[in-house]
Chain A
Amino acid sequence: MSRSARPLLFAGLLATAMLAAGPLIAQGKPAPKPAAPAAGAAAAQPKKLGLGREALPEEIKAWDIDVRPDGHGLPPGKGTVKQGDEIFQTQCASCHGEFGQGNGRWPVLAGGQGSLTSDRPEKTIGSFWPDLSTVFDYVHRAMPYGNAQSLTPDETYALTAYLLYLNDIVKDEEFELSDKNFTSVKLPNAATFYDDDREKTEKGFWGKEPCMVNCRGEVKITGRAAVLDVTPDSKTAPKVD
């Protein structure tokens, strides 16, 4: 679907002058891939068009606020559990509760450790999240809900420290979290995440020739949406947040 070359219509230009055709992008449908895309995805490297302009360092600095597990992106700063507690009570507790227990249907931020194999897991920072960097990154970019990106780096360090305290990951109210000691803090559930393995563990879903005739005996209805008791205010009803 490269642009077909067209004569330029500007007066004074030779009728034979041609617009450079755009990059020739392979249009053939890629063969369906059962696995992740092949490394390098052998598409021809498109030609540079010379569009856009260089991003200035101040512009990158303004938007580049993300933090990775290795600490890449952490801004200079620090904050203690105690400072975090004060900020949390004024900025966060109205939704998340004084101790991160969650008000109403707002997310629970603390507790639930050891519940992941139970019938109703409580997935919180302490019980579930793998990386502390995510706490800093998410709070800094998206909280407080409705007033995002209003927290300073120091306030974010303090809140992160308080959340560690609420989850019994640090025990000392004087604990100070900073860009210097940040990556030394490990969350309890870090080791339990692994990359998508469906192609191995669910291999049996591929290549079957399904039964078409007389496939089973008697069929019984075992569950009905109309009689399932879903309590809208229930803590155990499914939640999207």
Chain B
Amino acid sequence: MTSSKTSPALSRRRFLGAATAAGAGLAAAGSARAEAPKPDPLITDVQDWNRYLGEGVDKRPYGTPSRFEKHVVRRDVSWLTASPESSVNFTPLHELDGIITPSGLCFERHHGGIADIDPASHRLMIHGLVDKPLVFTMEDIKRMPRENRVHFLECAANSGMEWRGAQLNGCQFTHGMVHNVMYTGVPLRVLLAEAGLKPNAKWLMLEGADASGMNRSLPVEKALDDVLIAFAMNGEALRPEQGYPLRAVIPGWEGNLWVKWLRRIEVGDMPWQAREETSKYTDLLADGRSRRFTFFMDAKSVVTNPSPQAPLKHKGSNVLSGLAWSGRGTIKRVDVTLDGGRNWQHARIDGPVLEKSLTRFYVDFDWNGQPLLIQSRAMDSTGYVQPTKEELRKIRGTNSIYHNNGIQTWHVKANGETENVEIG
């Protein structure tokens, strides 16, 4: 349980204001060998793939990743749930880069398994406090003006197993209930205009066609603001496990509201208090009272590399990589510490910075083999600064399950192994 007394690493980017001596403790890259270097047979021998023909263009009508990427998969934690049909799996964040999650790796969360629906058999009904109740086919919906937007979907329970302390060893498991794709869909306000909202329309109920009959209440203000009714992700039809043929996209808000296999929207004047907004997705605080309708996902970040599933393997130059996101706007800044929060530096944000979307950050740093305590801290366009877990626990206790956006700590040991820890 020791911690280094000095800043353990030096970034090529200067620590803000930290007067660390440049060049201290840089590890020699590779040890000098006494014997003469041997030529690499991978270069000097002709390889099979260089000699024999590979597969032709007719072999892979829908391509899949290389066989050398078989380990890059969604994974579950079987003991979390009583049944795999009402369960969750996790996006392998430590294997990904940029901001778009490949469709086949987007984490899944179902309550009654994956509904298997022929789009020709799918209907969307809008009724309740409307001028005219309507039924739409998928063909109707695809004739409406559409929009393309990139948004993160984060499960409200993401990091929920960490409320009482460091528990799961890997950012896939601590932070992997999130994905970020480009959706194509029709703004919900366009659909609602077809039916015509009555003046007393205050809440909508969204319902899925699956075996859980998922239903959630949505305030009409949000429905008219930026909600999409999406039929495509990453340029192609939604995956079945993501709601094919139709799902709700509720930017910045907890994933449970993003009803999949969407078949019905009822308009009313009060919330329904469905199971998923009373028994579940309410946040029990230490005083025994509970917050409800905690829709927003607050600013959050995690270092995906290094992390327990992606240890450091080399001294010298290394890339620290991570993700930041906020349900209230855009990511303005991410700070990273390598010494457990004593000194911080601004990470380099790279790629698109979009509203309510994952945002990629990097720190290019030299590692001299000293142990590190890595954290990242996100700030969003509303001025919100990602809190520590301790700050959250002070306000909420440890039994609220949902909305854990506390700062994550990874302990990189001298051998490069990395562990999920908490620090004090």
**Chain B contacts to A: CB under 8 angstroms:** 1, 3, 15-18, 78-83, 85-88, 111-112, 125-127, 132-136, 140-141, 143-145, 147, 157, 160-161, 165-169, 187, 189-190, 193-196, 205, 207, 211-213, 215, 219, 221-222, 224-226, 263-264, 266, 268, 270, 272-275, 278-279, 282, 284, 286-296, 298, 308, 328-330, 335, 339-345, 355, 373, 377, 379-387, 391, 395, 399, 401, 411, 419-424
Contact = CB atoms under 8 A, between A and B. Distances in A.
Closest 8 CB pairs of A and B: A32-B329, A232-B79, A219-B340, A141-B213, A223-B422, A225-B420, A41-B225, A55-B133
Contacts of B424: 219-220, 222
Interface residues of A, number: 100
Contacts of A43: 187, 189, 224-225
B296 A196 contact: yes
Contact of A221 (B143, B189, B344, B411): B411
Contact of A211 (B140, B344, B373, B419): B344
Given A128-B279, A225-B419, A218 B343 contact: no
Contacts of A125: 279
B273 A222 contact: no
Given A22-B145, A239-B80, A116 B273 contact: no
A77 B203 CA distance: 27
B384 A134 contact: no
B344 A40 contact: no
Contacts of A22: 144-145
Interface stretch (A8-16, A145-153, A157-165, A176-184): A145-153
Given A25-B187, A32-B329, A215-B344, A240 B81 contact: yes
B284 A196 contact: no
A38 B147 CA distance: 21
A34 B135 contact: no
Interface string A70-103: 1010000000000000000000000100000000
Given A43-B225, A128-B284, 15 more contacts: A25-B145, A34-B382, A36-B295, A52-B140, A53-B135, A55-B135, A66-B272, A134-B279, A142-B211, A212-B16, A213-B18, A213-B343, A215-B344, A218-B3, A219-B424
A216 to B, nearest CB: 6
B222 A105 contact: no
Interface in A182-241: 192-198, 201-202, 205-208, 210-216, 218-226, 228, 230, 232-233, 237-241
